[in-house]
A and B are shown apart, each in its own frame.
Chain A
Amino acid sequence: MASRFKDVLNSGKFVITSEVAPPKGTNLEKVLHHIELLKDKVDAINVTDHQSSVMRFPSIGGCLAIKEKGGEPILQMTCRDRNRLALQAELLFASSRGINNVLCLTGDAVPVGDHKEAKGVFDLDSLQLLKTIRLMESGQDLGGNDLDGAVEFCAGATVTPGAQPLEPQLIKFEKKVEAGAEFFQTQGIYDLDNFGKFMEHARKFPVKILAGIILLSSARMAKYMTQNVPGIFVPQNLIDELTAVPKEEMLNRGIEIAGRMIAALKKDSICDGVHIMAIGKEEVVPDILAAAGL
């Protein structure tokens, strides 16, 4: 079955994706509400996979819920929690249920999460997972055996355009392209000049780049991310802009900033689309789109 998302990527339109996070528990009310809210407003919805190494309802479960509601899911798969048997098995299952988009991630480290004593698996890495998908599409598994029924995926990966130093990140980006990545959803970007420089390099490769837009919900969050999240840099003028408004206005200002950035990226065709991460504030993603004029 072909991926609807792949058709959108190849259509030349400015692509919009967003993401939802499954719950810690079996109460799906909130995530189902977010899916309902986003499914007709974005081209595809990522479902996070134990984000930040915090144990949750699985990504594949969230993807099934999106399918059931008629949306287009992107299955996030990290290499942290499963060995190559389990990863391949999940790809078979996803494919059998019409989940045709996968974002291949290494996964955050175990100690940053809520099961600090767990074993980090990392039997494969994100690159090897991409290659595995391409291999399985040819009808084989990693053990060299034939598959009775192959898979077909639109496979993506991530890149951090603000990483320091940048060159090792670019080398890995190129390796991911060679391994078969068709699209990239980047780490959150705020400095458009810097991102433009990254895009000059990325444009040399036959892949679609969706810029990561993380909603700034407060000045404090902006400062925290700059200081603590690898590869994220919020320029001082944006922090000042948030600080200048009253506390209750900060979220609205954050929505405005996100909308403004998306509009700028689209207007100058800097990249192929955006991936909006609202991190707990999924409710306002439609407002961000409206602020972007989409």
Chain B
Amino acid sequence: MKSITRQKPFEEIRQQLDSFNRVFIIGCGTCATMTKTGGIEQVMEMKSQLQGVDKLVSGWTVIPIACDEMSEVAMKENDRAIQNSNCALIMSCALGVHKISTYIDLPVIPALDTLFIGVEDTPGYFREVCAQCGQCIIGETAGICPITACHKGLVNGPCGGTNNGKCEVDKEKDCAWTLIYERLKAQKRLDLMRKYQPPHNFQASPRPRTVKIS
């Protein structure tokens, strides 16, 4: 499982940094390194890009796991440089940005957009397979989540836009329901596709979602 991110357009980053001259850059050694959005190379690239628009990079670090509590230690280690900065530009997913914001008093600016929680199918190809909806039905859909894999999130079968196994919104994208159908058919469990799925409970776990283990 990885938090999949994409770097924001540099112009947007530049605008967010408009009133800050001294920038401390923080990368993440886990997901953002794997997706090549916040690893050491991207941090170095960002450093030179910022210098190119006359920003002073007061320091940088790549935290092993930005969303982990150990980030507090990393922030303390860099305390002097951080104190000497106007803001922290964070090249991790939003979980990391949030975590770091609890450990430093500087304004935090995300350099990345957090897209989804995904798996790496082949090297460098990340795909969303779970929308974390709180009501899992993949036992009845051959392990493929239609809420995630179907563009419309349909739970009762394909729409009229299905086309030779592809989706109407993108001819390259597989129709989730054709995949589910083929797998259930091979498993001789097509009866599951005939089952009526009732409307989704969007308040199964009200937002913001929390769990407390007793």
Chain A residues at the B interface, C-beta cutoff of 8 Å = 80, 84, 106-109, 111-112, 120, 122-128, 131, 142, 158-160, 163-165, 167-169, 171-172, 174-175, 178-179, 187, 230-231
Contact = CB atoms under 8 A, between A and B. Distances in A.
Contacts of B169: 109, 111-112
A108 B190 contact: no
Give chain B's interface secondary structure class.
loop
Nearest to A164: B164
Chain A CB within 10 A, most for which of B153, B163, B178: B163
Contact of A158 (B160, B165, B185): B160
Given A109-B169, A128-B156, A175-B156, 12 more contacts: A84-B199, A120-B151, A123-B202, A142-B199, A163-B160, A165-B181, A167-B181, A168-B158, A168-B177, A168-B178, A169-B162, A174-B194
Contacts of A112: 168-169
B154 interface: yes
Contact of A187 (B160, B198, B202): B160
Contacts of B181: 165, 167-168, 171
Interface residues of B, number: 29
Contacts of A108: 161, 168
Q: Which of B161, B169, B178, B193 has the most CB of A within 10 A?
A: B161
B152 interface: yes
A230 to B, nearest CB: 4
A127 B156 contact: yes
A178 B165 contact: no
B152 A109 contact: yes
Nearest to B200: A123
B157 A168 contact: yes
Nearest to A178: B196
B196 A179 contact: yes
Given A122-B152, A167-B181, A175 B157 contact: yes
Contacts of B168: 108-109, 112, 230
Contacts of A128: 156, 198-199
Given A112-B169, A168-B181, A163 B162 contact: yes
B166 to A, nearest CB: 9
A133 to B, nearest CB: 13
A125 B200 CA distance: 10
B212 to A, nearest CB: 28
A133 B196 CA distance: 15
Contacts of B193: 168, 171
Contacts of B163: 164, 230-231
B40 interface: no
